[in-house]
Amino acid sequence: MHILGLTGGMGMGKSTVATMLKKAGLPVFDSDETVRRLQADHGPALPAIARLVPDAVQNGRLDRAVLRRAVTGNPGLLRQLERVIHPMVWAARNRFLAHYRRVGTPWVVLDVPLLFETGGQKMCDHVLVVSAPARVQAARVARRRGVPMAEARKLIARQMPDARKRRLADTVIETGVALPETRRQVRCLLKALKQ
């Protein structure tokens, strides 16, 4: 079984490309979705989060605004939360990989926004970075988050720069183009992977 690592900054169109890969028949492990499940009402991560930020968990529900405020300006707390969440995500990822290895699937996808930052690329046979021009990315983030462009650019600036991700990639798919062109790029990638 081969592993395709899929990554890219916020607003780059990673979810769109992941959906295209799913429709093409590749199983996709979505780390963001896994985090949402872990943090859902009465989710398995909530007791540990409550120990770190008691006000953020009330009656088995996570108050994301309280958690966000607690983490803002406190990198130490963010690292503590990552030490709680990341192992849970990795365990889910390992179960996903074990399942598809058992059934003999030729390619699976690990959709991980922080693939390079967490060293996840080391377990991948091929790394795909999804990219778009900076103005397109900022507009997407501003629209999705409901924030001004300046705030969107600040959020983006906290991430690994796109240029660095592109240099580390085996393949880059551009999403700042018409959707049919992105689909064409995905088809080309799938053809190359099959060879």
Q: Spell out the residues 6+ positions from residue 151 whose beta carbon is closer than 8 angstroms to its own.
A: 142, 145
Question: Is 73 marked within a binding site?
Answer: no
Q: Spell out the residues 6+ positions from residue 54 whose beta carbon is closer than 8 angstroms to its own.
A: none
Q: Spell out the residues 6+ positions from residue 152 whose beta carbon is closer than 8 angstroms to its own.
A: 11, 138, 139, 141, 142, 145
Q: What tokens does 63 get?
A: 């108050």
Q: How far from the centroid of its chain's Cα atoms is residue 104's Cα? A: 25
Question: Is 12 marked within a binding site?
Answer: yes
Question: Is 194 marked within a binding site?
Answer: no
Q: What tokens does 12 get?
A: 């780059």
Question: Is 31 marked within a binding site?
Answer: no
Question: Is 176 marked within a binding site?
Answer: no
Q: What tokens does 144 get?
A: 């999705």
Q: Which residues pair with 107 in a beta bridge?
A: 2
Question: Is 14 marked within a binding site?
Answer: yes
Q: What residue numbers does the annotated binding site for ATP cover?
A: 11-16
Which residues are known binding-site members? 11-16
